Amino acid sequence: MAERLRNYIGNNWQSSAGNFLDVVNPASAQVMVQVPLTPAEEVNKAVETAAAAFPGWRRTPAAERIQCLFKLKNLLEAHIDELARIITNECGKTYKESIGEMRRGIENVEVACGIPMMMQGQHSEDIAPGIDEYVVRQPLGVVAAITPFNFPGMIPLWFLPYAVATGNCFILKPSERVPMTSNHLFELISEAGFPAGVIQLVHGNKDTVDALLDHPDVRAVSFVGSTPVARYIYSRATANGKRAQCQGGAKNPVVIMPDADMEMATKIIADSAWGCAGQRCLANSVAISVGEAGNIFTEYIADAALTRKVGYGLDDGIEMGPVITQDSKARIEGLIAKGVAEGASALVDGRQKTVTGYEDGNWVFPTVLDRVPADGELARTEIFGPVLSLMRAATIDEAITIVNNRSYVNMACIFTRDGAIARKFRYEAVAGNVGINIGVAAPMAFFPFSGWEQSFFGDLHAQGRHGVEFYTQTKVVVERWPQEWSRQF
238 in contact with ligand NAD (CB under 6 A): no
Q: Which is nearer to ligand NAD, 173 or 392 (CB)?
A: 173
101 in contact with ligand NAD (CB under 6 A): no
Q: Which residues are catalytic, by number?
A: 281
87 in contact with ligand NAD (CB under 6 A): no
Among 51, 224, 335, 441, binds ligand NAD (CB under 6 A): 224
**Which residues between 252 and 311 bind ligand NAD (CB under 6 A)?**
281
Instruction: Strand 20-24: give its sheet, edge to edge.
Output: 3-4, 31-36, 20-24
381 in contact with ligand NAD (CB under 6 A): no
149 in contact with ligand NAD (CB under 6 A): yes
Q: Which is nearer to ligand NAD, 176 or 370 (CB)?
A: 176
**Contact mark string toward ligand NAD, 175..214, x via CB under 6 A:** xx----------------------------xx--x-----
Q: Which is nearer to ligand NAD, 227 or 367 (CB)?
A: 227
Among 385, 439, 443, 451, binds ligand NAD (CB under 6 A): 451
382 in contact with ligand NAD (CB under 6 A): yes
Positive or negative, the Cα torsion across 42, 43, 49, 51?
negative
455 in contact with ligand NAD (CB under 6 A): yes
Q: Which is nearer to ligand NAD, 21 or 53 (CB)?
A: 21
Count of positions on this chain that bind ligand NAD (CB under 6 A): 27
Q: Which is nearer to ligand NAD, 197 or 451 (CB)?
A: 451
Minimum CB separation of residue 105 from ligand NAD in Å reads 13
Among 161, 225, 253, 448, binds ligand NAD (CB under 6 A): 225
**Shortest-Cβ-distance residue relative to ligand NAD:** 225
Minimum CB separation of residue 158 from ligand NAD in Å reads 8
**Which residues between 150 and 169 bind ligand NAD (CB under 6 A)?**
150
Stretch that binds ligand NAD, among 21-29, 78-86, 109-117, 245-253 (CB under 6 A): 245-253
Binding site for ligand NAD (CB under 6 A): 146-150, 173, 175-176, 205-206, 209, 224-226, 229, 232, 247-250, 281, 382, 384, 410, 449, 451, 455
